[in-house]
Amino acid sequence: MGIAWYSENVEKIYFPMTVNILTKGHIRALEILSNKGSVVVGLLTSSALKNYKEERMPYEDRLYILNVIASVTGAQVVPQESIDPTENIRKYNCTAIASGDGWEGKELEAINKLGVTRIDINSGCELHSSDLYENK
């Protein structure tokens, strides 16, 4: 797994996730990020997913899975009510944000305005959870 660090001064990392289908890459990313700082996982709620991608698993089930993983990695799981992570980044005083899907559009603009460190994650898995959907 490769991680591109744009700064070494990382204390609290925000990691937005959907976890419609859990992959090895999700778990590996949490392991590595947890070794670099305190991790806050922003789990997109059902309403946040509506305009982003199809919800394949109910929020409560995704939350349960992430809480079990968080108990091992030490991550904190919080609801993310919007596709835009900036509210939670501010609320939880995060100094960095991690993503495995790259950065584009309004999300990238919002992150750049916050001035937090960007962490690009490549899980090393050739299979992305979105590839498992029949109707992309």
Instruction: Tell me the range of 58-62, 68-72, 128-132 where mean pLDDT is highest.
Output: 58-62
Assigned domain for 121 exists: yes
Q: What is the pLDDT of residue 2?
A: 46
Instruction: Check which CATH number belongs to the domain holding 72 and give it.
Output: 3.40.50.620
**Cβ-count burial of 18 within 10 angstroms (0-12 exposed, 13-18 middle, 19+ buried)?**
buried
Q: What is the pTM of this model?
A: 0.81
Assigned domain for 130 exists: no
Q: Residue 115: give the domain boundaries.
A: 2-125
The pLDDT tens digits for 5-14 are 444 556 899 9
The pLDDT tens digits for 109-135 are 777 888 888 888 765 544 444 443 344
The total number of structural domains in the chain stands at 1
DSSP 52-121: TS---S-HHHHHHHHHHHHHHH--EEEEE-SS--HHHHHHTT-SEEEESS---HHHHHHHHHHTPEEEEE
Assigned domain for 62 exists: yes
Residue entry with tokens 């109910």 = 58
Assigned domain for 98 exists: yes
Assigned domain for 135 exists: no
Q: What is the pLDDT of residue 88?
A: 95
The pLDDT tens digits for 93-112 are 999 999 866 566 777 777 78
Assigned domain for 134 exists: no
Contact 81, 45 (CB under 8 A): yes
Name the token pair of 36: 């670099």
